Amino acid sequence: MVNKMVNKLRKELTERQREILQTIKDYILQHGYSPTIRQLGALVEIDHPSAVFKHVLSLEKKGYIKRVDGDLQLSGFPSPSETRVRVPLVGLVPAGHPREVFDSTPEALDVPAWMVGRKKGNVFCINVEGKSMVDAYIDDGDRVLVERTNSASSGEMVVALLEDGSVTLKRLRVEKGKTFLIPENPEFDPIPAANLRILGRVVGVLRKY
């Protein structure tokens, strides 16, 4: 009976509302906080904030989201303050030109458990230095949660070890058998990386204002 009620509720959403709801969810999962109305509009390609806000109000009325102190929260989504886990903090990783910086530290951070999920014990945190990923909302000084892995799919953001021993944070792209590390800032050039080693993939971003 519960599943039937949930399914009935989901059918009340328009395609556009489903897209916006999924975009909000993906953004929160990646960044740890909700997008602004303008950021949300840019992500779903709606120019007018008032139009985006109308969709947000509709989602709120239908019980899918709620607004708390100006932030958007997914109804039924675990609150970051409910459960927290500790993850190790690793040395600076540049989101700019590659550098040889990837050192362990004795520090650790408490992060929302929902951001780590089943990856607990296999996630570490890095401080980002540089602005090559600003268009992906990862800026200088942010802290990024990274899942340890030696593989990743094209399109994922990764921490990669280059052939010269330097480490960088970029988006992985594989095209026609060639591998590139792509910045999210037009001021930076893609990096051809035939012999890179994947150290991890980004699962979340922490930012302090």
Q: Which residue numbers are catalytic?
A: 132, 170
DSSP letters, 115-135, are HHGGGTTSEEEEEEESSTTGG
Tokens read off for 7:
């399914």
Residues whose CB is less than 8 angstroms from the CB of residue 16 and which lie 6 or more positions away in sequence, other chains included: 44, 55
Residues 6+ apart with CB under 8 A from 111: 32, 84, 85, 86, 87, 125, 145, 204, 206
Distance CA 58, CA 80 (A): 24
**What is residue 199's three-state secondary structure?**
strand
